[in-house]
Each structure stands twice: as C-alpha cells, then as structure tokens.
Amino acid sequence: MAAGTTAGVWVLVLSLWGVAVSDQNITARIGKPLVLNCKGAPKKPPQQLEWKLNTGRTEAWKVLTPQGGPWDSVARVLPNGSLLLPAVGIQDEGTFRCRATSRNGKETKSNYRVQVYQIPGKPDIVDPASELMAGVPNKVGTCVSEGGYPAGTLSWHLDGKTLIPDGKGVSVKEETRRHPETGLFTLHSELMVTPAWGGAPQPTFSCSFSPSFPRRRALHTAPIRPSVWGLTLQLMPGPPPEPVPLEEVQLVVEPAGGAVPPGGTVTLTCETSVQPPPQIHWTKDGTPLPLSPSPVLLLPEVGPEDQGTYSCVATHPSHGPQKSRAISISIIETGEEGPAAGSVEGPGLGTLALALGILGGLGTAALLVGVIMWHRRQRRGQERKAPENQEEDEEERAELNQPEDPEAAESSAGAP
C-alpha cells in the first residue's frame, strides 16, 4: 500500500473513532487509536523528522524516530511520518511535538495537546424512596454514575428544574471514588429534602450526569415519583403546622439535664410505644436536621455550635407526626461544674484561706503577748524575793552574835 493511501486510511480511522481536533488541542476516547500528523514531513522515505512526547508514561521528553524501538506498542512513527497510538489511555495525556525537514530544507513544527475521555454508563438512582413525610428530612435516593473520565458532575432535578442545595429544605451529600487500576471515576450523590405544605402530592425527581468536556450531552436517569403522606409538597419555606406533643413520644438525654463540659458527649434517645416503630427525625432550634432517620442522636465532642434546643419527631402513616418535648443542650464553662465531694469551690477556698491566715496571725500575736507577760511576772517575783531574804540573813547574824547562856553573860559582866 502506498504511503499516501496509508495516510488516508489513518485519517479515515481518526474520523470513524470520533477524535475531535481543535487547533492544537485534541480529545480522544480511551481505548481507541489516535493518529497525529507531522506537518511538513515528506510523504515517502527518506524523511528527516523527530517526534517528542511528554506524557504520564514519561518522566521527561521522550524522542521517537521512524526507525522504531521498544515504544512501538505504545506509539510508533508511520511511513508517512504521522504518529500512531494504537490504544490511547489516561497515561497518554500530555504534549506531543513533531519537527520535520522537507527535501528543500524547510523545517516545520507541529505541537499537540492531547486529552482523553470516557463516557460512563447511564446513571441510576439507588434505593429510591417510595414515600415522603412533610415537615421532616427525607432521603430521596442516591444517584450513581460509574466508569467516567474525567470525573464530571451529578445534578438533581425536581419536576424538570435543577435543585440547588441550600442546607435547609434541600441538601446533597457527594462522594467521588477513583478506580486504582483503570483510573476511571465513580460518583455518588445522596439527595435529602424536607417537604413543606402546599405543593404537588407526587413530585418527580431525576438525576443527570454532565461530562467535563463541552459539546458532550448530559446523561439522565429514569425519573422517580414518591408520594407524600397525607400532605402536599413544596420545597419552599412555609409555616407548617406544629406537631402536638403526645405522651407516646419521650425524649431521654444522657447526661441528665443536657449540660456537659466542652468536648463531652451527649446521647439523645427518642422512645415511643407506637407499633410498628415509626421513623424518627430530629430538629434543632425548630429546624429539621439533615440526618437519616434514627431513634438515637449522638453528639460527640460537644462544642459551641452544638448548643441549642433539640426534639424528635416520630412519623407514622396512621398517627401523623408526633413531636417530643424539647431538651436544651448547653456547655458548662470551666469553674461552673460545682464543688465535688471533699472539695471547695474556687471563691470559697480563697475565703477559707483568708480566714485561716487571719486566725493564724491572731494566734501568733497572742502567743507572743503571753510569753512577754510571763517574763515580766518572773522578773517581778525575783525582785520581791530578794528583800525578804536579806532581812532573814540579818536576823540570823544577830542571833549568832548573842551569848548562848544568859547567866554566863551576867557572870562575865560582874567579874573583876
């Protein structure tokens, strides 16, 4: 086959496989062949040309020549100078450059930016709801799209109009996963709505996948039409009638009173005697919480944003919505826990310490005064005792100077 015929064949292949070329930007479908033309290259050998590519398969620029090599299974130069990628993949995204010199010495450069895509399968709504209850959050379903590249986006629609999540009546929980081997994406989008009174009794929901590349049509799921229990639906703010608190619905909080220190855990349990067990939804400060139905609400690591008034609403087809009493959840600031057993509060402890200090000072002063008074009394006692002892000594000396026998004294006085 002549070289010119070969080039025409590959151009035809390029068209058949739907490769879109816009200037130097090319989008190609994953798994299909891709041909890049080297402008200015001679149609027949000998040729002076060089292909360079920088893609996910290379760490730097890789050079390919018409002589071929170990890269032929990934990319090889055709006889007419074009570059063939037999099955383009995600790793082939990148930049391709060709430099060719004609027989008269003119040099021509070609530069391509290649991106790849993969259209996923038709999206589907998993676990669709058959019934909704007005006034409380309801899970409509989960929209799933598998096998796309790039990731793209999922959108929800109500009666043909796009739903915009507002965090109140409409909320969407999204998740994106990527396959570790193929690199393709799987998208999940869970829709929660809080129906209000005053709309259609059987709304129509649907979901669509939008590719990341322009000029690609969106893919739509089959619609679902859940009914609303005894009420009409309107996803707009409105004053719903307040459910009447009944004895059948009891709200229990642990710890009792609902007051915890920062970072503590609060457990709210909604108890009802209605059979079969109804769906339990939760409200905070009068606003429904976008949570799945559950009789237990756990608040771990309570912070300031968790403070408020909580209540539960039990919904049952035969009873209607039944609301529990409200319980306030609050945070105990440091120093407000109250005195523990055997302990004294901070202010009381300071007062006690002050009183003990004063009593200690008074006791020390009294002790010093007592010691001083004792020393004074001792000194006075010694001063009084000294004169008495002196008189006794003089009397003793006087007695010693007198004669022992009076008669002898007389005789000695009358002697010549």
**Angle subtended at Cα 401 by Cα 399 and Cα 407, rounded to the nearest 5 degrees:** 90
Are 102 and 108 in contact by the 8 Å Cβ rule? The answer is yes
Tell me the CB-side half-sphere exposure of residue 388, using CA atoms within 13 A: 5
Question: CA–CA separation, 329 vs 258, rounded Å?
Answer: 5
pLDDT-derived band at 387, boundaries 50, 70, 90: low
Are 323 and 311 in contact by the 8 Å Cβ rule? The answer is yes
Residue 79, pLDDT > 90, answer no
Instruction: Tell me the pTM.
Output: 0.54
Question: CA–CA separation, 294 vs 75, rounded Å?
Answer: 57
* Burial profile 95-112: b = 16 or more Cβ within 10 angstroms, e = fewer: ebbbbbbeeeeeeeebeb
Lowest mean pLDDT, pick from 31-40, 295-304, 338-347, 379-388? 338-347
86 vs 272 pLDDT, higher one: 86
Lowest mean pLDDT, pick from 21-25, 353-357, 378-382? 21-25
User: Mind listing the pLDDT tens digit for each residue in 193-247?
Assistant: 988 755 567 899 999 999 987 777 899 999 999 987 644 344 444 444 444 444 5
User: Mind listing the pLDDT tens digit for each residue in 256-288?
Assistant: 889 999 999 999 999 887 777 888 888 999 888
Residue 147, pLDDT > 60, answer yes
Position 375 scores a pLDDT of 75
Are 313 and 321 in contact by the 8 Å Cβ rule? The answer is yes
Lowest mean pLDDT, pick from 119-133, 228-242, 307-321, 322-336? 228-242
237 vs 109 pLDDT, higher one: 109
Average confidence score pLDDT of the chain: 78
Residue 384, pLDDT > 80, answer no
CB atoms within 10 A of CB 245: 14
Distances from the Cα of 274 to the Cα of 246, 249, 293, 321, angstroms:
11, 9, 16, 12
Residue with tokens 């993949």: 89
Task: Kindly state the average pLDDT of the residues 393-398.
Answer: 55
pLDDT-derived band at 36, boundaries 50, 70, 90: very high
E strand residue ranges, 1-158: 20-22, 25-29, 34-36, 48-55, 62-64, 76-77, 83-85, 94-101, 107-117, 124-126, 131-132, 138-148, 153-158
